Structure formats: C-alpha cells, structure tokens
Amino acid sequence: MKTDVLIIGGGPAGIVTAVTAKQNYPEKRIVVVRKEKKVVVSCGIPYIFGTLRDVEKNLIPDSVLTSKGIDILVDEIEDVDMEKKIAKSKSHGEIEFEKLVLATGSIPIKPPIKGIDGNNVFFVRKNPEYLQELMKRINESESIVIIGGGFIGVEFADELRKLGKKVSIVEMLPHVLSTSFDDEFCELAEEELRKIDVGLHTNSKVVEIKNGGVVLSTGEEIAGDIVIVCVGARPNIDLAEKMGLKVSKNGIVVDEYMRTSRPDTFAVGDCAEKRDFFTREVKPVMLASVATAEARIAGANLYKIKAFKQFKGTLGIFATKVGNIALGAAGLIERQAKKEGFDYVVGKSEVADKHPGTLPGTIKVRVKLLFTKQGGFFIGAQIAGGDTVGEMINLVGFAIESGYTAPRYMTLQIGTHPLLTPAPTAPATLKAAEDALIKICGNK
Amino acid sequence: MKTDVLIIGGGPAGIVTAVTAKQNYPEKRIVVVRKEKKVVVSCGIPYIFGTLRDVEKNLIPDSVLTSKGIDILVDEIEDVDMEKKIAKSKSHGEIEFEKLVLATGSIPIKPPIKGIDGNNVFFVRKNPEYLQELMKRINESESIVIIGGGFIGVEFADELRKLGKKVSIVEMLPHVLSTSFDDEFCELAEEELRKIDVGLHTNSKVVEIKNGGVVLSTGEEIAGDIVIVCVGARPNIDLAEKMGLKVSKNGIVVDEYMRTSRPDTFAVGDCAEKRDFFTREVKPVMLASVATAEARIAGANLYKIKAFKQFKGTLGIFATKVGNIALGAAGLIERQAKKEGFDYVVGKSEVADKHPGTLPGTIKVRVKLLFTKQGGFFIGAQIAGGDTVGEMINLVGFAIESGYTAPRYMTLQIGTHPLLTPAPTAPATLKAAEDALIKICGNK
C-alpha cells in the first residue's frame, strides 16, 4: 500500500493534522492509521457517565475524515523504516509514504499502589468498549473513589454525583486542580464539590486498593465499589523510540514546526514534548486544544514551511466546570511565576457576569491577572465565573500570546450585553489589568 | 462651590470617567452633576419589563461613586463659562472647576409621525419614573406595537412576549438589526422572533399612531394599546452648542484623547462624535460599552496625557440575544465593506457550541469573518450562537483591533471544554479564518 502522508493515531491531533494537510495539499493522499474502531471525544469522557449516559453519544464520526477524501485504516503500526519510508502494519502489510506524522497520544499512568490491577480499578482510556464496561460498573456501584483531583478527576466526581453515587476524591496535593490554579481558585472548586457532597481527601495518599474501597497512608479507609484512577498520562513514545527519534520522558522532541529529529517526520499532540511559552521549560500538559493547535501547524507545514505557522511554546489554556462555576486559566499562575523567579504584580477584579446583577442566574466573576513588574507584560490569567469563562479565558489567552501589556490591554474595546457579559462599567479583565497597572506605576 | 473635575452626566460615561479620574488622580476632587435622582442601567432597560419586573432592580447604585469619594450633585448645568471655568447650575449656584467633562448622553429621536405625542406613545428614556409609568402601561396593555427593529426594539419584543403580550415590530428597513448585521444574521434573529410569535412588519413605515394601534403607509392597521418608539437617539449637544464647542449633528467633535475643541474640556459617550475604526467616517453608534471605553481614556488623560490611552476609532462591538440565540458583531459587516469599497474575502464556519454536539443545550455557532484580500487583515466579524457569543465577539474584536491577519489569527492558541466551548477540532473563529485564508491564497 502507498500513500503520501501517513498519520499514526486517530485522536484529535491525528484528525486535525489530516484535515489541515488535506486543505493545504489537496492533491496528496492521506491515510490515518488507528487502533480503535471508533474514536471517542477525549475531553468529553467524564460527561458520558452523568449527562450523556451513552458512549455512542461521545464519538467523533469518521465522516470528519472520509468526507474530505482522507482514508482511515484500523490497524497498528509496529515499526517504521525511515530510510525506505515504509511503515509495517499488523494487518495491512507495508505502507509506503512520503511524510509521517506521529499522533500516538498518551497512556494513563498506573501508580504503584497495591491492588492497582484489581478488576475494581478503572483508568481513563480513550476506548469505547472499555468506557462501556466502566459505565456498566459505575451503574452497578453505590460508592466510587476517584484517585487524583485534576481536571478529569473533578469532572468525573461532578458527573457521578448527578447519578446519585457516593463519590470521594483522593488527592496527594493540598488542593484539587492545583497544578493549574492558585489556591484561592482551587478553593472555589472545592467549595462547589462540597456543595454537591463530594468527599474530599486532599493531602492524602492511597496506599492500597481493596475490594470495597481504598486505604490511605493514615490508615483511613474510604468506601468505593470501584476506583477510577485519574492521575494523568505519559506520552506514548514506544514507536518513536523504536524508530530512533529523539525523545525525552515528556515526549518526542519537536521544533516550532512540529518536526522531529528525523526528516519528513512530525509529531503532534500528547506524544510530543511541550515547552512553556514563557519559561521554555518542559511543560507536561496534555490537552486536546494544545494537540489540535500543534496539528494545525504540522498539517500546514508538511510539504512547505509556512513561516507564520510556528508553535511558539505552550500557553496552556484550561477551562473546566465544577458544580455551578466554570474556571479558566491561561499562561502562568502565581505559584509558577514565584517558583520560576518572575518579578510580577497581580491585578484582581470581582464583578457580576451579567448586568444588572439582579438578573436571574447572575454569577460572580473573579479575575486574577499576572503582569511582569517591568514593562507590564501580560503573563497569566485565572478566571472563575459562569459558563462564559470558557471564552473569556481565550480572550485573555489571545492577549497573553500577543504580547499585550497592562496599559494596552485595559484600553481595548469590548462589547457588552445585559444577559451575556459583565457591565460596560465593570469589564472584568480590563478592571483587573487596571488594578495591576496602578500597582506597577502608582496613580500617575 | 468648587471642584477640580466637573463631570456633567451621571450615566455610564460619566460614572466611568469619574472612577477612572479618581484612580489616576486621587488627590483631585471630582463632582458628577446629573439631573436624575437615580441612574438606570441603560442597556438593561428592556429587561426591566419581562425578566426583572421592577425598575428598582435595574439601577446603578450611587455607591459606585460615593464609596470612592466622588461627589454627586442632582442638578442641571444651564451654562458654562469656559474663560472663567465656572458652570452655572439650576439649584446649586456657580461651580468652579479645573477640568470639565461633558457626558450629557443622548435624547430619543421622535419621528415626525401623526399622533407621536399621544399618551399611548412611549420612548426609551433613561428615567426611572418614566420607566415605572411605562411598566404600568405595559402591564395594562394586551397588545403593543414597537416602532424600530434595532437592538432595543428587538429586545423589548422578546421581553414583552415573556409577559404574554401581543407584540408587533414595525421596521422601515428590509430586516431587523440590519444596521449591525448582514442579511443572513438578521434572518436568524427574525426566525427567533417568529418562533415566539412576534408580528414582524419589515419594509414598513408607520404613518399614523392612533388610539389602539398604528397605521402603515400601505393602509394596514396594527393593533397596539401602547406604542414604544425605538428608532434611535440623537446626541444631547445643547450645552456644548451653548458653550461654543465644535459639534456636528453626530455629536461633540473630540480627538483621540476625548478632548473637545476647547482646552480642559472633554466629551465622552453618546454626546461625543464617533469615527469608524477602519473608514474614519462618522459612525453613529450609541453603546454603553463604547461610552465607557471613551470614559476610561478621558478619565486617565484629564491632567496628564497618557500616550497609550488613545481612542483609535470605534470598532462597534455589539451583542444581543433574541429568543434562544445570541448575536454578536465587531468591526465591518459585509454590507458596509462593499459600500465603502473594501476588497475583502469572507470566511465562514458552522460548528456546535459544545462538544460533543449531543450535549444538552448545544446550539449551532455560525461565524462570518471579513478579511482584506490584500494582506489578509481582519476587518469584521459576525457570530450567532449560544450565550458565549457575548465573549466570543470580544475575542475577535481584540484580534481586529490588534491588527491580526488571517494566518496569524488561525494559529492562535485557545482552550476548550465540552460544556463551555466548541470542540478543539472545530474552533469556530479559527476555522472561519482558515476558510478565508484559502480563498485569499489558494491551497498552497
């Protein structure tokens, strides 16, 4: 078999690379090889269980590829000969190609806990049959323990409470969500979790998983008919290592155009190493939004380098919803900025997300922005509020990525509407920038 | 009486000028003079009638000023002597000042229609007592005719339907909202209005208002116990004219720092003339968001010019909600771009506002972006979708104001979340920019 572009991996990174490549190079044949018969919406996984209640409702249809003339091969690539440009597949023999893209994703981390291999233990696998089985077991359970209080863990907890299950989260760090948010925002999330009766065990370590629950290092036991492990994932670099690509434990090493250490070979998504936008340090984020941003870069640059399509480092724009509030973060949080030695000021604001604030459904918006003390450059943002936080955080993300400073940011024009935004007299993020500017410059 | 800064007008423009001035010049005394005892949230006016059902719930509390040490004077300024820097008030005698800010707002346009002065005819006045009376009359009415299908007219219609009133809109132009949106977006709004049984009479002119309804130029009569006139407003420049400031029929002429033709005299908000960001033509928009943006500029520049705080022309970022959909626009629409002779391309996308699209409450997001053919500069955006449109339109507004081009825009990093945003594989506005870029450059 012969193709022009071979993409290994059928998740968001593989799909967007394929679609972008087809848009940029319509005459090229593009084949996506993936192991799974069906592809789940990865970030939608928690919502299968409480809201959708059906794995089939959380699939990406093949038509996003096939309608554009991109071929799908359900198979596994076992090795690649980069000299000859031939991939060896399990079931379809050899595949010749011109350009190769690795979008092999990530593998859930299995912490070394006694009992972790028990059949009451589940991981967040992007596999419809596995998730089907998990759903069955969730439905049969009365109590569930979630190990790990990151995004996925917290979202799972929220969803499982909608089913009326008894839910506990065990998190080693002092707060849930604490790799992405400063304490005061983590505490807002924890308040919401408590409101919906999620059992929170922070600063806690599971030392054993038994039938019927987990044992903490303190000896305390927490009841759980099943245990869901949400402690993150590691890049799937097995094939890359076999191929002799340059890798680190954080993924396949890539440049600004998502090229690997070998010619004509690209890597995108969870399997590719990421560097922080500001610190240039390795940044272990695994987000579909980052994966697809990288994929848009790789897809465009496969045959011709497009100078404007560079990936300048990962900002890491997160959003989630816990109980009644949404939380978003972009760029650096204060804990990171402090640790990395940034000289920064914090600007804050608190406003209503609608105007007047007497409108039904009004939620308080809390904004915390970070700017460098010198120059006033925008380096980070955290927002908590209603459902519009998902787009508000993108708006500040744009400003951060664009190199905005506090004075320039606070004079930007915005639109407002009573039902849709904070008041024109209280533009949430602009007010926080103003607060920071006064701290930088004083009042004059 | 003596003050440092005298601000005439207590609406959003006056308030934000005062607050910004106090932040920048805390040692200065600031007095806001206004006619009204209480200040209504101007953009919230339609929502008083169906949602809030109480004028008192739509007020801006005086504490936004008084808590910052800003004085309020309920009075009327009858004339100003700019040589002596003395304002003559109706009830408080002469007021000496150093800097003067006119934030005198606008006055509803009274179209020359027979019967317009009848006591069954109401205008959109920012006056709590007047709005109280309007509410009483609305409650007593069975049918209501709205003259003018702009934002306010459409929002009124939507709200009055919530009360179960029979509501009709009469609009002279072919579509409602057509000064702000291209036809296909206006039609989406009209669909929503029809779904909630608002009687739509576009291309129609009221020639007479009678007791019990209006008469169109065709002779058709439309029943209405009361008539609400929402055909826009004209700048209130009476005092400015008396003072000899340079004015046009579109308002007080101002520069980039909101300075008028006289020293130490600024003008902000509806009473100040606006120029379009791209065309530099006069732009007759009256939005609280624009007024407050101008106010932030004026307040900062009162005593010392801050070079970065310039108003570079009005983008005009609008958002509204009609029935179940929200609509937003920023910069130029296609109708304007065509008329003004721009050489442009249109990029479009249609995606779900959540992911997967099977999530409850998912609404289709429709995006239309305009870029210049040469250079690919971002000049306009229109979006229809769910409640997050209010912030999405701000995000593209930022990009337009920042001089983004299609290629740079489409590689921006964004965050996504199943419940809060479109999918990472289908970022609404980035995809539309990609569509435009392909039209500009072809596929290579």
Distance to chain A for B124, nearest Cα, Å = 16
Looking at the complex, does the CB of residue A200 fall below 8 Å from at least one CB of chain B? no
Instruction: Tell me the C-alpha to C-alpha distance, in Å, between residue A40 and each of A26, B178, B279.
Output: 27, 41, 47
CB contact under 8 A, A326 and B57: no
Asked if residue B443 has pLDDT above 70, the reply is: no
Q: Which helix (H) or strand (E) holds B329?
A: strand B325-331
A19-A21-A25-A30 Cα dihedral, nearest 10 degrees: -80
For residue range B85-100, what is the model confidence (pLDDT) as tens digits?
999 999 999 999 999 9
* Domains along chain B with CATH numbers: 5-107+234-301 (3.50.50.60), 121-231 (3.50.50.60), 324-441 (3.50.50.60)
Give the type of residue at B263.
Answer: P
Read off the pLDDT of each residue in B35-42 and give the average, rounded to a whole number: 95
Task: Please enumerate in sequence order all residues whose Cβ is within 8 A of that of B393, keeping only pairs 6 or more positions apart, or say none.
Answer: A415, B317, B318, B319, B328, B329, B330, B381, B383
pLDDT value at residue B126: 95
Choice among A176-180, A277-281, B102-106 with the minimum mean pLDDT = A277-281
Residues of chain A with C-beta less than 8 angstroms from the C-beta of B417? 43, 319-321, 326, 390
Interface membership of B438 toward A (CB under 8 Å): yes
* Cα dihedral A406/A411/A413/A416 (nearest 10): 80
Q: How far is CA A412 from the centre of its chain?
A: 29
Q: What is the mean pLDDT of residues A102-124?
A: 97
Q: Are residues A326 and B356, on separate chains, in Cβ contact within 8 Å?
A: no
- Which positions in chain A touch B418 (Cβ < 8 Å)? 41, 43-44, 47
The percentage of chain B sitting over the pLDDT mark of 90, rounded to a whole number, equals 93
Residues of chain A positioned with their CB less than 8 A from the CB of B305? none
Q: Tell me whether residues B43 and A355 touch, CB distance under 8 A.
A: yes
Bridge partners, A209 (sequence order): A214
CA B210 to CA A211: how far, in whole Å? 80
- B358 CA: distance to closest CA in chain A (Å): 6
Straight-line distance from the first to the last Cα atom of chain A, in angstroms, rounded to the nearest whole number? 70
Q: What distance lies between CA B171 and its chain's CA centroid?
A: 19
Cβ atoms of B409 and B378 within 8 Å: the answer is: yes
Burial string for A391-412 (b: 16+ CB within 10 Å, else e) reads bbbbbbbbbbbbebbbbbbbbb
Cα–Cα distance for residue pair B77/B86, rounded to 1 Å: 10
Q: Residue B23 is nearest to which of A288, A392, A438, comparing CB atoms?
A: A438
Compare CB distances from B15 to A314, A356, A425 and report the shortest one's residue: A425
B41 with A423: Cβ contact below 8 A: yes
**Cis bond upstream, residue B356 (ω within 30):** yes
pLDDT in the model for residue A84? 96
Residue B309's pLDDT is 67
3-state SS of chain B: helix, strand, coil percent to 5?
30, 30, 40
Q: Which of A52, A319, A359 sits opposite B421 (nearest CB)?
A: A319
pLDDT tens-digit readout, B318-377: 999 999 999 999 999 999 999 999 999 999 999 999 999 999 999 999 999 999 999 999
Q: How many residues does chain B have?
A: 444
Average pLDDT over residues B234-253: 97
Tell me which residue in A44, A356, A394 faces B44 most closely, judged by beta carbons.
Answer: A356
What residues of chain B lie within 8 A of the CB of A41, using their CB? 355-356, 418, 423
| Of residues B44, B358, B398, nearest to A418 (C-beta) | B44
Give the Cβ contact number of residue B136 at 10 Å.
10
Single pTM value for the model: 0.95
Q: Dihedral angle at the C-alpha atoms of B154, B395, A393, A364, nearest 10 degrees?
A: -30
Report pLDDT digits (tens) over B187-214.
999 999 999 999 999 999 999 999 999 9
Torsion angle in degrees (nearest 10) through CA of B291, B293, B294, B296: 120
What is the per-residue pLDDT for B390?
97
Interface membership of B51 toward A (CB under 8 Å): yes
The pLDDT value recorded for residue A411 is: 85
Nearest chain B CA: its distance from A207 CA (Å): 32
Find the residue in B nearest to A21 (Cα).
B443
User: Tell me, what's the pLDDT at A443?
Assistant: 59
| HEC per residue, chain A | CECCEEEECCCHHHHHHHHHHHHHCCCCCEEEEECCCCEECHHHHHHHHHHHCCHHHHEECCHHHHCCCCEEEECCEEEEECCCCEEEECCCCEEECCEEEECCCEEECCCCCECCCCCCEEECCCCHHHHHHHHHHHHHCCEEEEECCCHHHHHHHHHHHHCCCEEEEECCCCCCCCCCCCHHHHHHHHHHHHHCCCEEECCCCEEEEECCEEEECCCCEEECCEEEECCCEEECCHHHHHHCCCEECCEECCCCCCECCCCCEEECHHHECCEECCCCCECCCCCHHHHHHHHHHHHHHCCCCCCCCCCCCECCEEEEEECCEEEEEEECCHHHHHHCCCCEEEEEEEEECCCCCCCCCCCEEEEEEEEECCCCEEEEEEEEECCCHHHHHHHHHHHHHCCCEHHHHHCCCCCCCCCCCCCCCCCHHHHHHHHHHHHHHCCC
Interface test with A, best of B151, B310, B417 (most A CBs within 10 A): B417
Residue B219 CB partners (closer than 8 Å, separation 6+): none
Residue B169 CA to residue B157 CA, distance in Å, equals 7
> Average pLDDT for residues A258-262, to the nearest whole number?
97
Residue B128 to residue B36: CA distance in whole angstroms: 8
Range 283-312 of B in CB contact (< 8 A) with A: 287-293, 296-297, 304, 306, 308-311
pLDDT tens string B113-147: 999 999 999 999 999 999 999 999 999 999 999 99
Interchain CB distance below 8 Å, A412 and B424: no
Q: Answer whether A228's CB lies under 8 Å from A124's CB.
A: yes
Q: Report the alpha-carbon distance of residue B385 to residue B380 in Å, rounded.
A: 17
Per-residue confidence band for A195, with pLDDT thresholds at 50, 70 and 90: very high
State how far Cα A396 lies from the chain centre: 17
Please name the residue of chain A whose CA is at the shortest distance from the CA of residue B400: A413
Interface test with B, best of A7, A394, A404 (most B CBs within 10 A): A394
Rounded CA gap, B13 and B258, in Å?
A: 12
Please state, in angstroms and rounded to a whole number, the distance separating the CA atoms of residues B441 and B238. Answer: 52
What the block records as the tokens of B272 is 């100040």
Predicted pLDDT of residue A168: 98
Please say whether the beta carbons of A344 and A440 come within 8 A: no
Write the CA distances from A89 to A36, A335, A367, integer angstroms.
14, 46, 50
Reported as a single tens digit per residue, the pLDDT across B376-399 is 999 999 999 999 999 999 999 999
pLDDT (0 to 100) of residue B67: 97
Per-residue pLDDT reduced to its tens digit, A202-215: 999 999 999 999 99
The answer for residues whose C-beta is within 8 angstroms of residue A61's C-beta and 6 or more apart is none
Please name the helix (run of DSSP H) or strand (run of DSSP E) that holds residue B207, with its range, or none.
Answer: strand B206-210
**Are B41 and A411 a contacting pair at CB < 8 A?**
no
Per-residue exposure over B84-123, b if at least 16 CB sit within 10 Å of its own CB, e if not: ebbbebeebeebebebbbbbbbbbbeeeebebbeeebbbb
Query: What is the C-alpha separation between A434 and A425, in angstroms, rounded?
Result: 13
Which residues in chain A are contacts of B388 at CB distance < 8 A?
387-388, 390-391
Chain B, 216-235: which have a CB under 8 Å from a chain A CB? none
Whether the CB of A434 is below 8 Å from some CB of chain B: the reply is: yes
Q: Which of A296, A330, A415 sits opposite B393 (nearest CB)?
A: A415
Residue A286 in contact with residue A232, Cβ under 8 Å? yes
Average pLDDT, chain B: 96
Separation in Å, CA of B423 to nearest CA in chain A: 8
- Element (DSSP H or E) covering residue B22: helix B12-24
Single-letter residue type at B76: E
User: Which residue of A315, A392, A425 is in closest CB contact with B292?
Assistant: A425
DSSP class of residue B116? T
Scan for tokens 């520049």, then name that residue.
B301
d(Cα B293, Cα B431) in Å, to the nearest integer?
Answer: 30
- Looking at beta carbons, which residues of chain B come within 8 Å of A288? 416, 423-425
More confident of the two residues A311 and A132: A132
Q: What is the mean pLDDT of chain A?
A: 96
A279 in Cβ contact with A380 (< 8 Å) = no
**CB of A57 within 8 Å of any CB in chain B?**
yes
B349 and chain A: CB distance < 8 Å anywhere?
Answer: no
Tally helices (H) and strands (E) across chain B. Answer: 12, 27
Q: Pick from B52, B306, B414, B421 the residue to mutate for testing the A interface (most A CBs within 10 Å).
A: B414
Minimal CA separation from A117 to chain B, in Å: 30
Q: Please check the confidence at residue A442 and state whether its pLDDT lies above 90.
A: no
The answer to whether the CB of A178 falls within 8 A of the CB of A148 is no
CB atoms within 10 A of CB B305: 12
pLDDT of residue A128: 95
User: With contacts defined as CB-CB under 8 Å, which chain B residues touch A425?
Assistant: 12, 15-16, 19, 60, 64, 288, 292
Please provide the size of chain A in residues: 444
Alpha carbon separation from A96 to A38, A75, A91, A113 (Å, rounded):
25, 15, 15, 43
In A, minimum Cα distance to B288 occurs at: A424
